[in-house]
């Protein structure tokens, strides 16, 4: 059997090379100068965590240390001379056990099929996949902060607000994958990684079902405690299966225990099929009651009774997050949902929306707070994410702004010399997003272009509104 995989389709440098196959193992880095191709040099200089001798290089990647290992693979911290950066290198282990080899084959093909396809701020990028005669390996973005596994014990739980934000971002990442025809099938704490800033990245698509790729629906690749009931019944994989696994992980992160327990895999599977978990508020009384309803939906035995889509699940998670977060902190989930609801940014896709979340200045302000003042300089674009504000000029009331409305677009269009033509003052407590020209230039070119087109439409609508008012007054 011959599997085909893309090699180096997308790297951080956006380099592009041709596809490679098992029959041509060295083509995976044919774009690298011959002087850099040192895959045949294996000088033993380090040892792995298991005490084994570690090679100096695998392919074009220099091995630095072992990050972890599983039943079918070892993950190394490696260095790529071509990219001049660290990355994580998953090396699949050869094994005489036919079952394990088959599982490893499926995992490799699933990840190889996704090289360069998963471009999302909360998904680990898969950069390269290479199949040589005696081994296969996958190069991925390196995320240095470890996984959520260390936060699954009762004595080391994360703050509830942080859990909500992580699960919300998981929903966003899985929604993106689902729309590409991908079901992850292995959602669990050890596959949610944290970067150096504490933000999350979804990892390990080795168990994924990828539409159009020669992987199998019937393999039991999910981790036993997180397996959805329909997979145990050998039903086709769907997004609702990932929702069930996410629900198990959420339950565990909130309480420090798993909802379905047993001493053996068979007992755990039996519990998944038959047991209704205890409400989380009985295990942790300080949790908002809304978590019981969310987990009840996520952990339904019938996938048709779970949330219809990831957007619905994300909104439920975001709503309970707002109940448990101090006013001084603006959760990313609220920023994201506010941007998706605004006419200014509602046409953005998920990637562009997260881009705007990261490159905005967000602040909570009280009622009667002056955001911009008539006659003062200012060229930033602003958005009311929550609350209302009044627009006045020359002492006259011009307009009332609601959640989702933007203002300051004339100053932004005029540039650094712009003078505000009106005063905007909040009439209720409000959440304001400010986008300075400097921050907007840091957004992707696609995001900037879409924003520019939307601003032109907003300006045209407001000009028409002003003309209509003049006509009525005349």
Q: Cβ distance 369 to 353 under 8 Å?
A: no
Q: Is 186 a catalytic residue?
A: yes
Q: Cβ distance 203 to 274 under 8 Å?
A: no
Catalytic residue among 186, 204, 332, 350: 186
Backbone angles phi, psi at 133, to 5 degrees: -65, -35
Cα–Cα nearest to 171, from 63, 294, 301: 294
Cα gap 52→445, rounded to integer Å: 47
CA triplet 63, 68, 70: central angle to 5 degrees? 120
Question: Which residues are within 8 A (CB) of 144 and not within 5 positions of it... i.e. 6 or more apart?
Answer: 195, 196
Cα–Cα nearest to 443, from 328, 310, 330, 339: 339
Question: Which residues are within 8 A (CB) of 179 and not within 5 positions of it... i.e. 6 or more apart?
Answer: none
Specify the pairing of strand 126-131 against strand 182-183: unpaired
Instruction: Write the DSSP assignment of 384-408 as a string of letters.
Output: EEES-EEEEETTEEEEEE-TT-EE-
Cα gap 159→75, rounded to integer Å: 29
H runs (alpha helix) in 418-444: 437-440
Structure token digits, residue 197? 């800033």
Q: Which residues are catalytic?
A: 186
């Amino acid at each position: 059997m011959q599997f085909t995989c893309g090699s180096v389709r997308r790297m951080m440098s956006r380099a592009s090379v041709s596809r490679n196959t098992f029959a041509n193992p060295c083509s995976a880095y044919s774009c690298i100068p011959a002087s850099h191709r040192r895959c045949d040099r294996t000088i033993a200089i380090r040892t792995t965590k298991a005490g084994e001798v570690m090679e100096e290089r695998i392919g074009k990647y220099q091995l630095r240390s072992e990050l972890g290992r599983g039943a079918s693979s070892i993950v190394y911290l490696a260095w790529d001379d071509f990219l001049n950066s660290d990355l994580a290198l998953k090396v699949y282990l050869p094994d005489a056990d036919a079952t394990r080899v088959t599982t490893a084959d499926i995992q490799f093909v699933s990840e190889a099929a996704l090289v360069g396809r998963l471009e999302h701020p909360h998904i680990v990028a898969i950069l390269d996949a290479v199949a040589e005669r005696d081994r296969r390996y996958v190069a991925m973005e390196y995320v240095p902060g470890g996984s959520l596994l260390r936060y699954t014990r009762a004595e080391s739980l994360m703050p509830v607000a942080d859990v909500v934000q992580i699960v919300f971002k998981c929903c966003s990442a899985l929604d993106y994958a689902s729309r590409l025809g991908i079901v992850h099938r292995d959602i669990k704490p050890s596959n949610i990684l944290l970067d150096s800033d504490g933000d999350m990245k979804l990892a390990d698509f080795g168990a994924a079902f990828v539409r159009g790729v020669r992987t199998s629906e019937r393999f039991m690749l999910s981790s036993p405690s997180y397996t959805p009931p329909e997979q145990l019944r050998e039903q086709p994989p769907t997004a609702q299966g990932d929702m069930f696994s996410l629900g198990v992980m959420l339950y565990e992160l909130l309480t420090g225990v798993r909802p379905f327990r047993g001493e053996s895999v068979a007992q755990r599977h039996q519990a998944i099929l038959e047991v209704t978990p205890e409400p989380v508020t009985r295990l942790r009384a300080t949790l908002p009651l809304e978590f019981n309803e969310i987990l009840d939906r996520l952990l339904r035995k019938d996938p048709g009774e779970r949330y219809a889509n990831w957007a619905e699940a994300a909104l439920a998670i975001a709503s309970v997050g707002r109940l448990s977060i101090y006013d001084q902190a603006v959760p990313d989930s609220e920023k994201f949902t506010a941007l998706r609801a605004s006419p200014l940014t509602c046409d953005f896709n998920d990637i562009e929306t997260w881009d705007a979340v990261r490159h905005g200045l967000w602040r909570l302000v009280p009622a009667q707070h002056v955001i911009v003042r008539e006659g003062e300089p200012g060229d930033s674009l602003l958005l009311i994410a929550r609350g209302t504000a009044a627009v006045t000029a020359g002492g006259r009331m011009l307009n009332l702004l609601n959640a989702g409305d933007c203002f300051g677009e004339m100053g932004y269009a005029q540039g650094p010399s712009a003078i505000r033509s009106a005063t905007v003052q909040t009439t209720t407590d409000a959440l304001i997003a400010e986008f300075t020209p400097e921050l907007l230039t840091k957004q992707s070119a696609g995001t900037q272009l879409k924003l520019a087109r939307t601003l032109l439409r907003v300006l045209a609508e407001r000009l028409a509104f002003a003309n209509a008012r003049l006509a009525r007054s005349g």
